[in-house]
Amino acid sequence: MFDEPGFPRDSDPDYDATAPTLCTFVYCSRAAVGVDDAEVNRLIEWSQRHNLTCGITGVLVFGSGVFFQWIEGPEDEVRKLMASLHKDPRHYDIVSLEQSEEKRERLYPNWQMERVSADDIREVLQDALESAEDQNNIAALRRILDHLATRSLDSLGRAN
């Protein structure tokens, strides 16, 4: 969850009082049937225009039918985007890997949303599985990893 506002950080050597307060949301998910590179490119183009006006930056990795996204920006805007992402029919099995709020510089200051290609993101997902505690997230991560193990295009959609 997001850090408590006003939490004392004087003892944190990485704390920068002049840095902006940024909300971060990191997740992975499986692409729905019909989501291909062309659809992802349209999504990126729309996101770049939209995120510029909202102060959101980040990166989207898409490969093997799996999304991995890092989003950072003002809390209100990131929360609105999170709600929108959970309603988006282009993906499912959404696993929240990180949600936080802290004073820091942006990791992607000039990327309103950039796509980074990945043929295989198993290592990132395996690390997430090893640290996951929520049973729903563990189950979704296992389904995503199972999908990647088969690399079957037919398995991109939801199981009936």
Higher pLDDT, 155 or 75: 75
Helices 122-131, 135-150: crossing angle, 10 deg rounding: 160
Q: What is the pLDDT of residues 63-88, one digit of tens each?
A: 888 899 989 999 999 999 999 999 99
Pick the CATH number of 21-152 from 3.40.50.2300, 3.50.50.60, 3.30.70.100, 3.90.550.10: 3.30.70.100
Q: What is the pLDDT of residues 101-131, one digit of tens each?
A: 988 888 878 877 877 766 557 777 787 788 7
pLDDT at 7: 45
Sheet strands side by side (includes 66-73) = 91-103, 21-31, 66-73, 57-63, 114-117
Rounded CA-CA distance 72/101 in Å is 9
Is the confidence at residue 93, as pLDDT, over 60? yes
Rounded CA-CA distance 118/114 in Å is 13
- Domains of the chain by residue range: 21-152
Is the confidence at residue 32, as pLDDT, over 60? yes
